[in-house]
């Protein structure tokens, strides 16, 4: 064993979730594997998603896409966020599709493509109401015009038109109807101007599941592939969490009543008790805000972390229950054994499950199982 805390990633759950999403939405799937597949390990997850029928992969940055290429993955990959200092030549050479949201970027990509003699594959990003990437209605005509000009010159191919939803986890939110209408209008404008996109795409996980009008030609699920419910207020169709985070009891000992536990003595034992040291801390992705709050499964039941989460460790107060050095502790997982889920952890510390899985530290090995 290399490290006491490990993230077990069940690739069969990833495959089942991809199939379930494709079926629920009735559309091809771009599996979003940015940020090391939300902490799950980009290459094994990408391969599993493709095996399950995903036809595209999506990442944020071109370097993430090139890492997939270096691993031998040849499926289409979209790098959605392309800062101006992106190595466009390398991305074009690697056959990476690029998300382009400004005229300046069209020109930079086209120049790199012209130098290479290979057209760049681009997806024009519409800002339909999130005020993040892409152009609003005001800037859209100029973006479309610049892209068509570059296409006529043979420097780019406009593969896609796309946008992103701000509130798809709240189907009643008024922005949903505004964004879907704006997308239809902006797609219509581009097509009338002469764009012939292969793909128009808008839906992330919660949109793919709950907003049929956003599905267009392809869905772009991320979180749901990992089995986590993207809209915890709404039911999901039976996704299975892929990741289980485990660690190993390192010291177990009796301490007297009145013992202060961990930094700052935020926890004081109220009786003689057994404390167990778990060697996982905020460097591994256990939120420090989970001090005295988060629950883990140890010695047969769920127990709150006692006191501060440290960089490399935290402590449990297990009372008089038997626990031994070497015993497994399940931090979170699918919930089958009574352990907390990543969604439970997120709720407890005021964040989203996206952050819980994505923030795992680099020293935590991802162990892929089937």
Ligand X SMILES: *Cc1c(COP(=O)(O)O)cnc(C)c1O
Query: Which residues here bind ligand X, judged by CB under 6 A?
Result: 32, 34, 80, 164, 204-205, 220-224, 230
Look up 116 and say whether it is catalytic: no
For residue 233, give both structure tokens: 């207020």
Q: How far is CA 117 from CA 90, 92, 96, 260, 277, in A?
A: 13, 10, 15, 68, 60
How many CB atoms are closer than 10 A to CB 85? Answer: 7
Nearer to ligand X, 215 or 303 (CB): 215
Smallest distance, Å, CB 54 to ligand X? 13
Q: Give yes or no for a contact between 159 and 197, defined as CB atoms under 8 angstroms apart.
A: yes
* DSSP track, 271-317: SSEEEEEE---TTTT--GGGTTT-EEEETTEEEEEES---SS-EEEE
Residue 21, C-beta contacts closer than 8 angstroms, at least 6 positions apart: 29, 205, 208, 209, 219, 221, 224, 225
Which residue lies nearer to ligand X by CB, 162 or 267? 162
**Active-site residue identified among 34, 226, 267, 282:** 34
Minimum distance between the CB of residue 268 and ligand X, rounded to whole angstroms?
41
SS3 99: strand
Please provide the DSSP assignment of 15-60 as one string. Answer: HHHHHHHHHHHTS-BEEE-HHHHHTT-HHHHHHHHHHTT--EEEES
User: Burial letters for 155-164: b for 16+ Cβ neighbours within 10 Å, e otherwise?
Assistant: bbbbbbbbbb
**For this structure, is 267 an active site residue?**
no
Q: Considering beta carbons, is residue 156 or 224 the nearer one to ligand X?
A: 224
* Comparison of 134 and 333: residue with beta carbon closer to ligand X: 134
Question: What count of Cα atoms within 13 Å lies in the side-chain half-sphere of residue 174?
Answer: 0
Comparing CA positions, the residue from 102, 113, 96 lying closest to residue 138 is 102
CB of 110 to ligand X, least distance (A): 22
> Could you give phi then psi for residue 215, rounded to 5 degrees?
-75, -30
- Minimal distance in Å, beta carbon 166 to ligand X? 11
As a whole number of angstroms, the distance between CA 239 and CA 18 comes to 9
For the annotated binding site for substrate, the residues are: 132, 311
Per the CB < 8 A criterion, the answer to whether 274 and 324 are in contact is no
CB of 326 to ligand X, least distance (A): 36
Alpha-carbon gap, residue 14 to 32, rounded angstroms: 12
Least distance between ligand X and beta carbon 142 (Å): 22
Query: In terms of CB distance, is 89 or 166 closer to ligand X?
Result: 166
CB closer to ligand X, 168 vs 247: 168
| Residue of 116, 125, 253, 263 marked active site | 263
Count the residues in the chain.
Answer: 370
Q: Which residue is nearest to ligand X (CB)?
A: 222
Binding region = 132, 311
Residues forming the active site: 34, 263
């Amino acid at each position: 064993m290399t490290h006491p805390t490990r993230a077990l990633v069940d690739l069969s759950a990833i495959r089942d979730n991809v199939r379930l999403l494709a079926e629920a939405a009735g559309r091809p799937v771009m599996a979003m594997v940015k940020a090391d597949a939300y902490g799950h390990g980009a290459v094994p997850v990408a391969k599993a998603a493709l095996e399950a029928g995903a036809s595209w992969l999506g990442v944020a940055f071109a370097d993430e896409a090139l890492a997939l290429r270096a691993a031998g993955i040849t499926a289409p990959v979209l790098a959605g966020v392309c800062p101006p200092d992106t190595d466009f030549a390398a991305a074009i050479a690697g056959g990476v599709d690029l998300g382009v949201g400004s005229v300046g970027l069209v020109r930079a990509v086209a120049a790199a493509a012209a130098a290479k003699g290979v057209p760049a594959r681009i997806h024009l990003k519409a800002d339909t109401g999130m005020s993040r990437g892409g152009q609003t209605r005001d800037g859209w005509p100029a973006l479309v015009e610049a892209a068509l000009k570059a296409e006529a010159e043979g420097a780019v191919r406009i593969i896609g038109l796309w946008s992103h939803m701000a509130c798809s986890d709240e189907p009643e939110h008024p922005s949903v109807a505004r964004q879907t209408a704006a997308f239809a209008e902006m797609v219509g404008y581009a097509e009338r101007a002469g764009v012939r996109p292969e793909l128009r795409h808008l839906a992330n996980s919660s949109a793919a599941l709950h907003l049929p009008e956003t599905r267009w030609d392809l869905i772009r699920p991320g979180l749901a592939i990992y089995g986590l419910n993207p809209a915890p207020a709404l039911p999901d169709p039976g996704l299975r969490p892929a990741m289980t985070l485990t660690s190993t009891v390192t010291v177990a000992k009796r301490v007297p009543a009145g013992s202060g536990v961990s930094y700052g003595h935020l926890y004081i034992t109220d009786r003689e008790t057994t404390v167990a040291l778990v060697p996982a801390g905020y460097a591994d992705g256990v939120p420090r805000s989970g001090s005295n709050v988060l629950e883990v499964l140890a010695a047969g039941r769920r127990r709150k972390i006692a006191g501060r989460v440290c960089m490399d460790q935290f402590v449990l107060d297990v009372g008089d229950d038997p626990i031994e050095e070497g015993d497994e502790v399940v931090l979170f997982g699918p919930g089958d054994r009574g352990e907390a889920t990543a969604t439970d952890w997120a709720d407890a510390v005021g964040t989203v499950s996206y952050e819980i899985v994505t923030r795992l530290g680099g020293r935590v090995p991802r162990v892929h199982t089937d």
